Amino acid sequence: MLCLLGPGDLALVAAIVSVAACAQMVSGFGFALMAVPLMGLAIDLKTAVVISTICGTASNTYQAINDGHDRDRRLVRVLTTTSFLGMPLGFVLLDRIDVDFLRVVIGIVVLLALVAVLRSSSGTVLGGRFLEVLAGFVSGVLATSTSTNGPPLVLLLRSRGLSPEVFRATINTVFSIVAFVSIIIFAFGARLTGEALVGTVVAIPGLGIGMYAGWRLRGAMDPGVFWRIVVGLLTATAISSIVSGLV
């Protein structure tokens, strides 16, 4: 299990994980949306998906445990169960989709997610069990194919008018459970390569720094201001991912 990533690649991965972890701690989501496209510009995209999934698990689980008393338990049960149904399909897609095509898909998913989230925050209300099942299933497919499984969940949960505390606790509980299962699927599917494991280990200090910084900003910075910054970064990242896949 040799690692072909150079020191510069590993340093970049650690820096990206740190920034993504900071954003995720403040907003409650966005780790993979930021980390995967950026890492994919420097390293193999499938390796980036695995590193993002493993590192994101730590941040998600911390918030799920710390904010657990605020979670919506019914939504957690529905969304995790339906995510499990979509995860095998996502893994098959990851194994068969061309990497450049995957870059374009991830970029488009990020842009659509931003539009959907911004629209949902303006008062759109969605309801019904069918949409919960659909959001969970699509999220499961994205979890094991691109690691960017947040958009369907963000759209659904934001449309329910949940408080920031319930939103963060609920979505991070789903993220953490699904991520653990994703890692097991990656292990059995031989996706835990040398590059992925070394990249994850090297990124751990950056992950810790980002989580700590995000936790401090979570109480000190106006969430609206920080989210506007994140939106700008995600937009630039998505466009870069699409361009790199087409060139």
CA–CA gap between residue 194 and residue 169 (Å, rounded): 33
3-state class of 97 per DSSP? coil
Average pLDDT score over residue span 101-117? 75
Q: Is residue 151 part of a domain?
A: yes
pTM: 0.76
Q: Is the dihedral of CA 203, 208, 211, 216 positive or negative?
A: negative
Q: Is residue 1 part of a domain?
A: no
pLDDT at 81: 95
Give yes or no for residue 1 having a pLDDT over 50.
no
**227-238: string of b/e by CB count within 10 Å (b at 16+)?**
beebeebbeebb
pLDDT per residue as tens digits for the range 180-223: 998 998 888 887 888 888 888 988 999 999 988 888 877 666 66
Higher pLDDT, 117 or 30: 30
Report the range of poorest mean pLDDT among 34-38, 80-84, 126-130, 147-151.
126-130
pLDDT at 3: 53
pLDDT per residue as tens digits for the range 146-175: 777 877 887 788 777 777 778 888 988 999
Report the range of poorest mean pLDDT among 13-22, 57-66, 124-133, 172-181.
124-133
In which band, very low, low, confident or very high, does the pLDDT at 44 lie, cut at 50, 70 and 90? confident
Q: Is residue 63 part of a domain?
A: yes
Q: Is residue 2 part of a domain?
A: no
Q: Is residue 68 part of a domain?
A: yes
CA–CA gap between residue 61 and residue 183 (Å, rounded): 14
pLDDT at 138: 87
Q: Is residue 230 part of a domain?
A: yes
pLDDT at 76: 93
**What six digits make up the tokens of 18?**
């740190």
pLDDT at 83: 94
Higher pLDDT, 93 or 14: 14
CA–CA gap between residue 105 and residue 161 (Å, rounded): 29
Cβ count within 10 A of residue 164: 12
**What six digits make up the tokens of 157?**
């949960």
Domain that holds residue 126: 7-246
In which band, very low, low, confident or very high, does the pLDDT at 178 lie, cut at 50, 70 and 90? very high
**What six digits make up the tokens of 174?**
């789903």
Task: Report the interhelical angle of 7-27 vs 31-40 (nearest 10°).
Answer: 160
pLDDT at 17: 92
CA–CA gap between residue 220 and residue 223 (Å, rounded): 9
Higher pLDDT, 223 or 3: 223
Higher pLDDT, 6 or 62: 62
Q: Is residue 233 part of a domain?
A: yes
Average pLDDT score over residue span 111-124? 65
CA–CA gap between residue 149 and residue 29 (Å, rounded): 10
**Number of structural domains found in the chain:** 1
pLDDT per residue as tens digits for the range 52-106: 889 888 888 888 888 778 888 999 999 999 999 999 998 888 778 776 787 787 7
Task: Note whether 230 and 113 are within 8 A (CB).
Answer: no
Q: Is residue 75 part of a domain?
A: yes
